[in-house]
Chains A and B, each alone.
Chain A
Amino acid sequence: MRHLLSTRELSREQAIELLDIAEDMAAVQEREVKKLPTLRGKTVVNLFFEDSTRTRISFEAAAKRLSADVINFSAKGSSVSKGESLKDTAQTLQAMGADGVVIRHHASGAPYTLATSGWIDAGVVNAGDGTHEHPTQALLDAFTMRRRLHGAASRGRALDGVHVVIVGDVLHSRVARSNVWLLATLGAEVELVAPPTLVPVDTTTWPARVGYDLDAALSGTPDVVMMLRIQAERMHAAFFPNSREYARTWGLDDARFDALPPSTMVMHPGPMNRGLEIAARAADSPQSTVREQVANGVSVRMAALYLLMSGERGDA
């Protein structure tokens, strides 16, 4: 693998291979010595044009556990705020000898531009671009589902027939987009539930069903309910009347949570708006995978960095 830009371009075999490698990386996290020498002498640059704490430290932990050197670059207080272009920033990183670049950018497609422009030789990982994709989040979600469902026998398996309901702000969510493509590739049935104002204009090409009624979706006893964060920072219009109405109609409140079978996983990519899209009881229950998702994120990102930065340079 040369870059990891979107889950849409991942084949089923590639996705399963990455998840299997993540299993090995998870085993390393349980040892006393949590470090591998694999990427010794390589440099990973975390290039963050948008605020993020958890994704950045997750990538940082992943790179450090593989013995890579990590340089953190955030747009705030850097030359970007002085008007430097992506091209000039990329060429600076190239000159510094970056082997891998983890990029988060507010513009959809920025990682693709960075990867295909020829400005830089490094492998590029998309850590979230605009409202487009966030592939490592989807991979860690799939990894978490697979582990909950199959435990130690997860290796080599996909998610065939697993019924996943994704609820919330699909319009702005790169997590939802990445999950739709990846979960469909892995054989899961994906159902999106959102207020009509928070569904993209045309979803006919998406391998997912779209509905507007959360109670109807939950009555189908899904295996997984994934609540998306209401992204206030991206909402520049009134998409729903007020947050109380949203919580009542599309939030996983106590009553809806109690009606779910105890086998249903409750997922959230974080950070959570407790009381808005998810009630505290659901978030803190044993059915919630929120903390596992964080731990698994490091394993999945280690697998991604390994696949990108090992192997002969120049192969696809």
Chain B
Amino acid sequence: MARAVLSQADISRALTRISHEILESNRGSSDLVILGIPTRGVILARRIAETIARIEPDAAPPPAGALDVTMYRDDLTRTRTRTPQPTELPAGGIDGKTVVLVDDVLFSGRTIRAAFDALNDLGRARAVRLAVLVDRGHREFPIRADFVGKNLPSSTRERINVRLAEIDGDDAVAIDDTVAAEGGEA
């Protein structure tokens, strides 16, 4: 049974607010790099970068990219083999930049931990921030998001299903009441 939590307009508003918050905390869009974690984080990162470019039309638009963390995960021998996705860094790299990591759902925090390791091999960012569309709780690491679209207290039995138009045809966030052993954050 699926229960809709965020509509297309809700997602759009949340991303606009997150974009404003990123600009506010960074005092502008200079030296920002927005990196999405595949698959849906990459699309959210791209949308946030576009929104920031719209909000600050006079500044150079912040580069968006993708950061794959598959090879840095701590559960590679615990689940079926995962297929890595491409990592795409903007031409300027991340050295000295403020990197905003973007993911769709923040759950255990293990993906973000892996992302720190992955970032470390790519250069030395000046600061790393975290933006997520949904924070569903159940953290297993001392990690919290700087920018959150919606806090969604959930049961571990539930699955948070994020749909984005670029991949799934429409924008929506729903809670599936299944007993997926490890749902939500992939």
Question: Chain A: residues with CB nearer than 8 A to chain B?
Answer: 1, 17, 20-21, 23-24, 27, 31-33, 35-38, 66, 155, 306-307, 310-313, 315
Contacts and interface: CB of A to CB of B under 8 A. Distances in A.
Contacts of B78: 312
A155 B86 contact: yes
Nearest to A155: B86
A310 B82 contact: yes
A46 B142 CA distance: 40
A49 B69 CA distance: 37
23 contacts: A21-B83, A21-B84, A23-B86, A24-B68, A24-B71, A24-B86, A33-B121, A33-B122, A35-B121, A36-B121, A37-B117, A66-B71, A306-B84, A310-B76, A310-B77, A310-B81, A311-B76, A311-B80, A311-B81, A312-B77, A312-B78, A312-B79, A313-B77
Taking each of A20, A33, A306, which has the highest tally of chain B beta carbons within 10 Å of its own beta carbon? Answer: A306
Contacts of B122: 31, 33
A37 B68 contact: no
For the complex, would chain A's binding face be called helix, strand, loop or mixed by DSSP majority? Answer: loop
Interface residues of B, number: 19
Nearest to B76: A310
B71 A37 contact: yes
Given A37-B71, A306-B71, A313-B77, A24 B82 contact: no
Contact of B84 (A1, A24, A313): A24
B81 A1 contact: yes
Contacts of B123: 32
Contacts of B80: 311-312, 315
B87 interface: yes
Contact of A38 (B72, B79, B86, B87): B72
Nearest to B114: A37
Contacts of A21: 83-84
Contacts of B79: 311-312
Contacts of B77: 310-313
Given A36-B71, A38-B71, A24 B87 contact: yes
Which 6 interchain pairs have the tightest Cβ spacing?
Answer: A311-B81, A33-B121, A310-B76, A38-B71, A36-B71, A24-B84
Nearest to A313: B77
A161 to B, nearest CB: 25
B85 to A, nearest CB: 8
A154 to B, nearest CB: 11
B72 to A, nearest CB: 6
A27 B71 contact: no
